[in-house]
Amino acid sequence: MRVRIPASSANLGPGFDCFGLAWQCWNEIEFIPGGDKLKINGCPERFQNRENLAFRGYLAVLEACGLKEEPLSIEFLKTEIPVSRGLGSSAALIVGGAAAANALHGLGLSRDELLRIATPIEGHPDNIAPALFGGLTVSAMEDGRALTAAFPLSSKLFFTTLIPDFELSTERSRSVLPASVPRADAIFNVSRAALLLKALGTGDGALLGLALQDRLHQPFRTKLIPGFNRVRGLAESLGAAGLCISGAGSTLLCVAMGPDFSREMASAMAADFPGWQVRPILPDVQGVQVF
């Protein structure tokens, strides 16, 4: 049983812990029941244990359905999603494990049910939902249960990821956030988040620039990303409609109105930011796939 799970960008500026968008950049994992004990191959040794997130996603589904754990081999076949860069690599593993358990044991759980089971492992649904469903999703927690809705995404938008050569753990990136925010900042974000859905749905570049603004997390996180202001300046000078931190960082996500932006940004960054990868990226609309 093979699963293919997309990368994703959470937050998208103002949609902190709620918005997510899946990408055509995948991890592929094989789950083979049998053997004498849990075996995990194809990933660094420190992840070859029961804490492995693919295994935890798998186990969570078995437990939710009252099934007993049996020996299993997990083989990482393809790992395109960079780790600890804000592109949803953890969520992809959890979703991969959950989808594999569902399929291997013929459980027939819906994606909504998998979302509810998988989200507590990650703590928030914003990467789990796009990894499961694909596309642009807005998720919420209600009485401890995750739910999500899909939103349209215009094909007029061109996305570019700027991936630095340093990791940024979600834990570190959340540690710099204030526990409460002024009401004016909350209002600022509510308005931008609602307008962002309109801008992403219609491909309205002028609205995007305004709607990608955020006051809940990005102002505190940019200091964890050396070079942020200069990179943003470059993106703006090349006509990007907007830029935000992808998830908790360290990757930055640019939105442009034409296909040339990625190439121009790559050459603009080459001299001063040689460690950064500048990659055009396409939205994924399928979510997790089981083969």
Which residues contact ligand HSE by CB under 6 A?
10-11, 16-17, 124, 126-127, 170, 173-174, 217, 247-248
> What is the smallest separation between the CB atom of 173 and ligand HSE, expressed in angstroms?
6
- Interatomic CA distance for residues 2 and 228, integer angstroms: 38
Q: Which is nearer to ligand HSE, 141 or 266 (CB)?
A: 141
Pick 86 or 205: Cβ nearer ligand HSE: 86
Instruction: Taking the CA atoms of 206, 208, 211 and 217 in sequence, report the sign of the dihedral they define.
Output: negative
Q: In whole angstroms, what separates CA 34 from the centre of its chain?
A: 31
For residues 10 and 247, is the Cβ–Cβ distance under 8 A? yes
Q: Could you tell me the smallest distance in angstroms from the CB atom of residue 279 to ligand HSE?
A: 19
State the minimum distance, in angstroms, from the CB of residue 122 to ligand HSE. Answer: 7
The residue (of 160 and 173) whose beta carbon lies closer to ligand HSE is 173
State the virtual CA torsion across 21, 233, 278, 94 in degrees, nearest 10: -30
**By C-beta, is 17 or 30 nearer to ligand HSE?**
17
Between residues 5 and 269, which has the closer beta carbon with respect to ligand HSE? 5
- The SS3 assignment for 79 reads strand
Write down the residue that tokens 């013929």 correspond to.
Answer: 106
Least Å distance between CB 194 and ligand HSE?
18
Name, in order, each residue with C-beta under 8 angstroms of 135's C-beta and a sequence gap of 6 or more: 21, 22, 150, 151, 153, 283, 284, 285, 287
Min dist. Cβ of residue 155 to ligand HSE (A)? 26
Q: Do the beta carbons of residue 87 and residue 49 sit within 8 Å?
A: no
Whether the upstream peptide bond of residue 250 has omega within 30° of 0, thus cis, is: yes
With beta carbons less than 8 A apart as the criterion, state whether 248 and 173 touch. Answer: yes
Complex with ligand HSE: residue 126 or 204, whichever CB lies closer: 126
Q: How far is the CB of 185 from ligand HSE (least distance, A)?
A: 16
Least Å distance between CB 262 and ligand HSE? 24
Q: CA 173, CA 247: separation in Å to the nearest integer?
A: 10
3-state SS of 171-195 is HHHHHCCCCCCCHHHHHHHHHHHHH
Rounded distance, CA 259 to CA 194, Å?
26
279: tokens are 């990659």
For ligand HSE, the closer of residues 32 and 166 by Cβ is 166
Instruction: Provide, rounded to whole angstroms, the least separation between the CB of residue 178 and ligand HSE.
Output: 13
For residues 111 and 217, which CB has a smaller minimum distance to ligand HSE in the complex?
217
CA distance 173 to 280: 25
